[in-house]
Structure 1
Amino acid sequence: MNSFLLRSRRYLLLRSGAGLARESLLRAWFHLGFLQSSKKARSMSSAFSTPRADEYLALLEERLPEKTFRHVQSVARFMLTYAEEAGITEEQAVAAGLLHDLCKALKREELSTRAGLYGITKHLDNPNLLHGPVGAEECRRELGIVDKDVLDAIRFHTTGRREWGAVGCALYLADFAEPLRTIPSAEEARTILDSEGYPSALRYAAVQKERYVREKFEPDRNATDFFEWIRNLD
């Protein structure tokens, strides 16, 4: 189902008075279509109508394991369901959603080597935090992506940042709550998105992520700045 049909069906459902329960059902149908396509073939180019989606998918199919390949597609598709509400374009949603884990599968040594080539000096011993900055640089250098909001979304998708752009915030929620994530907090974020809207779902995701990070790690400065910024947004 392409994004135009998705928006059209959403509009008809809401106009008919079906309300939020049917909005949730629509997302379930959307997700079911994803699972069916994944069983038939790894490539899902028919799911995206943006100009470079096929190119991105071909690259990702070569570089990512099956689980991550499915995850990035689910993130992009999920972002399309609220792109308008988040204030981003379909092309931004697809590019950021598909490419945010471009370098996720690289080994620590390779990530560090590429970071050095790109002049990246932070998080060299932490692949979880390094794959975003390295991926953003590869998107800029190898794929020619020039949209700063998309590049910043990819660069900081693990931590967030203060005064982050609209694409980054939309990606943060999708990475946390895309439908392949079945943990209770992800399911709750999707419920909040349906019932209360995008801003509430984003705040909920940030609160849950902050709680997890503070329990498990010493938070990165960008992460703590992002959590504080989100809490203080109107």
Structure 2
Amino acid sequence: MDTLAMHISNGIINGPVAAIFAALALAALAFCVMRGRADLDDRLAPMAGLVAAFIFAVQMLNFPIFTAGVSGHLLGGALAAMLVGPWVGALCVAVVLIVQALVFGDGGVAMLGLNITNMALLGTAAAYLLIALLLRVLPRTPAGLAVTAFVSALVSVVVASQGFVLQYWLGGTTDLGGNLTGLAGTMAFAHLLIGIGEGLITATTVVTVAKVRPDLVYALRALKPATPAPAVPVAGGAR
């Protein structure tokens, strides 16, 4: 599961800033589609559907941060990045956000570009960068994989929350109390707590999948160890 999903309601950020981020999000998602096509195969396609469904379920749990319409919840970016890669993973999170906004009214439709930027793009990118780093230095044992999943999930949530702070600085229209530094601190602390929960869920899920079918974990297939020595298997061996 992933943390840092702050659904922004309509009116929190002004129209021009929302439009700019909508255009940026659209361009980034188009790039993810192009890059993700190369990754899709008989293993990744069904896994992407399962990941999207799981993220949809965990994101239904929202934790209010401000009464003005900002909430925090599990994101799933790190989970998606580890299981299906950064490109397809970002698309999975984006699809979930679009469905939630259009069908359930979770997050303003006019704010979709902002929410996709924070949760699907920033969160997933931050997670995968950490995954790529940690899997090069940590042993590929259940413990090493768990640490990688936990840390990447935790950090990705906090990074995503700071995306909202930047957007609010550029075009915030609602008084959220205090100054920008206070807002950044509040968002970081709240999402740090959420990130701990997301990290535990992400680590548990990824390690469970890796023990049964390590070949289904994208990060283990795509990221090579730093040394040419054979990696320590996560399970008894790939099937």
Same fold (TM over 0.5): no
TM-score normalised by L of structure 1: 0.30
TM-score by length of 2: 0.30
Higher relative contact order (CA 8 A, sep 6+): 2
